[in-house]
Structures are given as structure tokens and as C-alpha cells.
Amino acid sequence: MEFETWWLLAIPFFFGLGWLAARVDIRHVVSESRSLPRGYFRGLNFLLNDQPDKALDAFIEIVTLDPETIELHFALGNLFRRRGEIERAIRVHQSLLARPDLPQEYKLQSQYELGQDYLKAGLLDRAEETFNLLTDTQYGAQARRMLLEIYQREKEWTRAIDAARGLQESGAGARQKEIAQFYCELAQDELVQTRPDAALALLDKALAADRSNVRAAILAGDAHLAKGDVETALASWRKVEQQSLPHAALVAQRLMDGYRAIGRPQEGVNLLKNYLAEAPSIDLLEVVFKAVLDLDGVEAANQLVSDELRRTPTLLGLDKLLEARLMEAPPEMRSELSLVKNLVHGYAQKLARYQCSHCGFKARQFYWQCPGCSRWESYPPRRTEELNVMN
């Protein structure tokens, strides 16, 4: 390729254009910065230095002196809400909405922020009313998420189902697992009211939404048991092993009681032993231990726990082994063994917790919805110590 001499002339020309553009941009930035209130920079400096109280005072001063600073109103309202000063946050956003000259874009944003204020304050009716005004706007997806949260807090499960479906249809992601859980909540209410047929109809809808929903299978068994159909109840509970074998521990006692009711307890023990071999669990071991103790005696129960402790060494398992040993210990050994057992039991109970895999919230009982973060199906069906041993 030949070298063209006019290229040498073009280089200074393009350099000059770049220098001129940079000068224009710098002047624009300088003029913009000069138009901002001095208090804005003071507030920003306080925020950067991790002094939110002083930053808040600076921003309040700006808003008081210059009511036209709409963005600062939003920043101020958010600061109030984060600090827990909900009444002041509400007043800021209401004052924005009261302005007749407020552009539509900012009006919608003010309504959304006001709805969050009401939600944070626990004023669920007002929050619901506010978010309903936004469902057909650019804030539609966010508003539906907030409405879904409200309906769950109020335990309005039918409305929660509609809200979750609305989110799905808007392209905000799948909500099938949550919808199935909402149907389970409705079915649980029907069981409390001794209406098993109505509960079963709702559980069919739950399984249609999510075929892998373990809770629906468990509740279906409970509904059949309420109707006096033990065989069908057992069949429903046994579906859990196909959906999630670790969750079989949650139905172990139900299965054992059911097999006893139909006069086949040994079949129940054998089934639970198979579960225990494939998915070790201290809760499952507890049920099997009591069943073996009842059917086969202390020695067999002792051997069962001893074998399980070798396979899965946990403090919870040791507690169960000491309980078994205490039953067959000679009288002169029981006092000392009981002391050791009580000591181990005290520590073991501290580890006998279920833990949310999302937020880490620990609880003595198993929850389908975490009390800490409100996530559904975030609790593994094993105790924390078991999970640590497995990891």
C-alpha cells in the first residue's frame, strides 16, 4: 500500500477536532457542576465518608431551599425509609405526588416509592391500593412482586395465585413452585376444617403446577387418612421417595403408623430401613429405632443405632446410641451412663436444627416457607449437623 502525503495533513486536523470536543465536554461538565447547590456536594462528601446522618441533614437543607430538586426528593425519601423514619419518607413522596406540574414519569416513580413506604410501615391495605394503580404501567412487574409479597403476608392464597400467574404472564420468570405451595396452603386450611375432598381437589392443582411438590404428596396422604382410606394414604406418602428420597424422613412416622394400622408393622420397618440405608437421617433413625425396639427388642435396636453411627458419625447419633445402651445397662452403670447421656443430649439438641439454604435461618421444626427470608422450599430435610458431616 502506497503512502499518501495528505495523511500527514489529516493528522493535525483530527487532533484539533478531538481537542475541541474535549474542551466542549469539560465546559459542559463545569457549567453543570456550578448549577448544582453547594449542599449537594457536602451531602455527597458525607455519604462517601460514611456519615449518613450529616448527609441527610445536608440533603434536607437543599430540598427546603430548592423544592424543584425532584431527584433529591427521591434520594431523601429512600434515606428516610432505610433509617426506619417511615412517616417522613411517606411525607416526602406524598408531597411529590401533590405537585400538579410533576411529569408522569416522576408521578409513577413517586407512587411506587410511596407503596414501598406503606409496605415497610405495615400498612398493607394502602400498599396494595397503591401498587394496584401501577400494574398496567412501566412499574407493572415490580408492583406485582410487591402485591405477591402482600398477599403472602396476609395469607390471601387465592389472590397470591393470581398475582403469581400475572407475573409469569408478564415474562417475570416461572412461579410454578410458589403456585403449588399456595394451593398446598389452601388444602391445609381445608384439612383443618375437616374437608378432605376439597383438600384433594386443591392438591391435584398443586401437583398440576409442580409434579415434584413433596408437600402436596404428603398432604394428599393426610387427606386420604382423614377419609379412613389408610392404603391410599400409604400410597401417597410412598410417592415422596420418588420425588425426593431425603424428604422421606418427613413421612417416616406417618408410614410406620399406617402400616401398624393395617397390621403390617414389619413391612413398614423394612421399608424405612431401606430409606435409611439410601438416605441417612437422624429423624428417620429416630422412627426406625422406636419401631425396631417395639418389634425386635433392645438388642436389635442397639445394633441398629451402633451400625448407623459407624456409617454416619454425628453427635445426634451418639445421643441415640447412649439411649439404647442405657436400656440394657446393668443397674450399677445406669447412673454414670445417664449423666453422660444427658450431657451429650444437651449439646446434641443445639445441633438438631433445620437451616435455610438461602438466609441461614435456623429452626427446630421443618418449614416449607422460611420464617426469615420467606423463601419457599429453602429448608433441606436434614439437620444442620448431618449436612456438615455430608459436606
Q: Which residues are annotated as a binding site?
A: 356, 359, 370, 373
Q: Cite the annotated binding site for Fe cation by residue number.
A: 356, 359, 370, 373
For residue 274, CA distances in Å to 246, 252, 279, 342 come to 12, 12, 9, 30
Spatial contact of 306 and 321, defined as CB atoms under 8 Å apart: yes
Residue whose C-alpha is closest to residue 248's, from 258, 240, 256, 260: 240
Q: What is d(CA 325, CA 89) in angstroms, rounded to the nearest whole number?
A: 63
| DSSP reduced 3-state for 162 | helix
CA 106 from chain center: how many Å? 32
Distance in angstroms (rounded) separating the CA atoms of residues 312 and 31: 71
Instruction: Please report the sign of the dihedral spanned by the C-alpha atoms of residue 336, residue 340, residue 345, residue 346.
Output: positive
**3: which DSSP letter?**
P
Cα–Cα dist 63/191, whole Å: 56
C-alpha atoms less than 13 angstroms from C-alpha of 161 in its C-beta half-sphere: 14
Beta bridge partners of 362: 355
Distances (CA, A) of 69 to 37, 72, 231: 10, 5, 70
The CA-based angle 51-54-59, given to 5 degrees, is: 120
Question: Is the CB of residue 275 less than 8 Å from the CB of residue 241?
Answer: yes
CA distances (Å), origin 239, targets 145, 243, 369: 33, 7, 21
- 3-state SS, 31-85, equals HHHHHCCHHHHHHHHHHHCCCHHHHHHHHHHHHHHCCCCHHHHHHHHHHHHHCCC
What is the rounded radius of gyration, in angstroms, for the C-alpha atoms of the chain?
A: 32
